[in-house]
Amino acid sequence: MTDAFDKVSSHYGEAGIGERILAALQEEGIDIDALTPEILAPIDQFHTRGIVATREHAALAAPNADMHVLDVGCGVGGPARFLASTYGCRVSGIDLTAEFVAVAQMLTERCRLEHLVDFRQANALDLPFADARFDMVWCQNVTMNIEDKASFYREIARVLNSGGRFTSTEMAAGTAGPPHFPLPWARQPEISFLVPQEDMRVALEAAGLRILEWRDTSADVVAAAQSQSERARHGKLGIRLIAGDDLGERVANSGRSLAEGRLANVMIMAEK
């Protein structure tokens, strides 16, 4: 299992991410000491449909300023900063990849949001928090790299308080065969752990989470591929700064796999 975790971390943790982001911003004449979540949105929303999906996800989850939210698989902190700056909630983020955590902290300080947002490196299967610590757990495009989904959902339920909500957008296995590789979350199948939507439902409910909302958003993802927002995410100030120069091929394979029914994208809301 440790070997699998190391491979996942290596897939994402290319050195120099923070330096590349700052250099690209400076080249565009942007003051890197006065950043905002809006400026960073094309870069730091490293998940399907980017900031558009984050806004939809947040509208469904409805966080508020009294909440403490845990962002599991926080990446470089884009969603956490969005939630804090938009809703005023406190957000703690965890990620398996040390490079992501370091960049998340750096960008948060440059956005002057460190009073609301904090990060640490941690494994989603062993969250370093007490029981019933959070009002909401937020997760975007994470479980594709987690094989033991039953343990993952149990950990989510453990750290949620009674009545707390878990909200997630994820890729699931489709019905038309395996997806085309490489993909954004895995260049090879060995670190891709997709399951059908029904298996996700069963694991969630077995962990004591009651499903409130389940949306298949696959068609939305396919339709958004040529949108202005998506083009911006793949431009000079885009997610390649985080994910590498081969991201175009990986994203194209994801879209093709969704269109062919080899993948499904879902948005989930559940309650403890």
Predicted confidence at residue 269, as pLDDT, reads 97
Contact 213, 268 (CB under 8 A): yes
| 2, containing H or E segment | helix 2-12
Task: Convert the pLDDT of each residue in 150-198 to its tens digit.
Answer: 999 999 999 999 999 999 999 999 999 999 999 999 999 999 999 999 9
pLDDT of residue 10: 85
Q: Apex CA 20: angle with CA 18 and CA 21, to 5°? A: 65
Cα gap 125→150, rounded to integer Å: 9
Residue 120 falls in which region: left (phi positive, over 0), alpha (psi -120 to 50) or beta? beta
The DSSP secondary-structure symbol of 196 reads -
Rounded Cα–Cα distance for residues 161 and 157 (Å) = 8
* pLDDT, tens digit, 9 for 90 and up, residues 34-73: 999 999 999 999 999 999 999 999 999 999 999 999 999 9
pLDDT in tens, 62-107: 999 999 999 999 999 999 999 999 999 999 999 999 999 999 999 9
Per DSSP, the three-state class of 73 is coil
**Is the CATH number 3.40.50.150 carried by domain 2-271?**
yes
What tokens appear for 211 in the block? 């499903």
pLDDT score for 173: 97
Q: How many CB atoms lie within 10 A of CB 136?
A: 22
With a cut of 70, say whether residue 1 has pLDDT above it. no
Q: Place 114 in a pLDDT band, splitting at 50, 70 and 90.
A: very high
pLDDT at 11 (0 to 100):
85
Please state the φ and ψ torsions of residue 44, each to the nearest 5 degrees. Answer: -100, 5
